[in-house]
Amino acid sequence: MGEKAGGEVKLSQGFVNGDQFSPAVTTLSNGNIAVAFVDLRGGDNDIYVQIWSPTLTFIRQDNINTGALQTVDPSITALAGGAYAISYTQGTGADTDIIGQLVSGAGGVGGPVRHFQRYR
């Protein structure tokens, strides 16, 4: 069994109001750590990703979805060059979709938002 190596670090850096929950974590190809989570402030759920060094030093924050729709259940996977793909559930209560986005190693949320489910 592993031993703790140092103290705990709050991985929702800079968030003092509201609740943060549903973390998803991946190690990026450049060795950094990406932590996706949901933030509940202002009556809706938003998705953020924060990038941390291997020594848990904060690097940057990517605002993935901060619109008015409810967004939950982030899932994240590493891609080449420090990039990552993130998926999450977005809905209004009447219509719920599975969404995906690509984010570059520099932090740019790139390309169009993709709706992953198919209708038959």
Q: Is residue 120 one of the residues assigned to a domain? A: no
Three-class secondary structure of residue 109 per DSSP: strand
CB atoms within 10 A of CB 18: 15
- Compute φ and ψ for 31, nearest 5 degrees: 95, -15
pTM: 0.86
Contact assessment for residue 40 and residue 13, using Cβ atoms and an 8 Å cutoff: no
Give the count of domains, the chain.
1
**Could you list the residue range(s) of the whole structural domain that residue 56 is in?**
19-115
pLDDT digits (tens, 9 = 90+) for 60-112: 999 999 888 899 999 999 999 999 999 999 988 788 889 999 998 887 766 55
* Lookup: tokens for 70: 């409810």
Q: Is residue 12 one of the residues assigned to a domain? A: no
Q: Is residue 10 one of the residues assigned to a domain? A: no
| Rounded alpha-carbon distances, angstroms, from residue 79 to 8, 9, 22, 70 | 27, 25, 21, 26
Q: What's the DSSP call for residue 67? A: S
Q: Is the model's pLDDT at 114 over the cut of 70?
A: no
